[in-house]
Amino acid sequence: MHTALVVIHLFLSIGLIGLILIQHGKGADAGAAFGSGASGTVFGARGAANFLSRTTAVLATLFFITSLALGWMVMKEAREAGIMVSAPDAKEIPAPKVENDLPPRSDQKVKEGDLPTIPEGASKTGEGAQVTKSEGGKGSK
């Protein structure tokens, strides 16, 4: 049923697009009033506009009805079954115990081995090592 409704919906949408593209705009009626040859058409001078607009209205109504029907069917399916309905029961797995990896608070004393060593020649402001010629020329010429 769902597949048939989708196919009908698709044909209705293609039909609506085609009918809307075939219709003339409001400005095209002004040319027909001055004898542009519209009176020799199959539907008459005003017959095509009425036929196409009524057919478009019927197709639009059917498109709206199929849209509501498809939405209702999808909503009904979503209530009946979901991802979590078929999922197995979760087992509680304890988290591994971790040593305190947070930095020390300001009121705690820091042991000497807890801090990284500052490389020789590095500035205390964190800008990196400043090498001069007097230190043996490491890294500079």
pTM for the whole structure: 0.46
C-alpha span between 16 and 26 (Å, rounded): 19
Residues 6+ away with beta carbon under 8 Å from 79: none
Which pLDDT tens digits describe the chain residue by residue (141 residues)? 889 999 999 999 999 999 999 887 766 655 555 655 554 455 555 556 688 889 999 999 999 999 999 999 988 876 766 666 666 777 778 877 777 767 667 776 767 666 677 777 766 665 554 555 554 445 544
Angle ∠(23,24,26) on CA atoms, nearest 5: 130
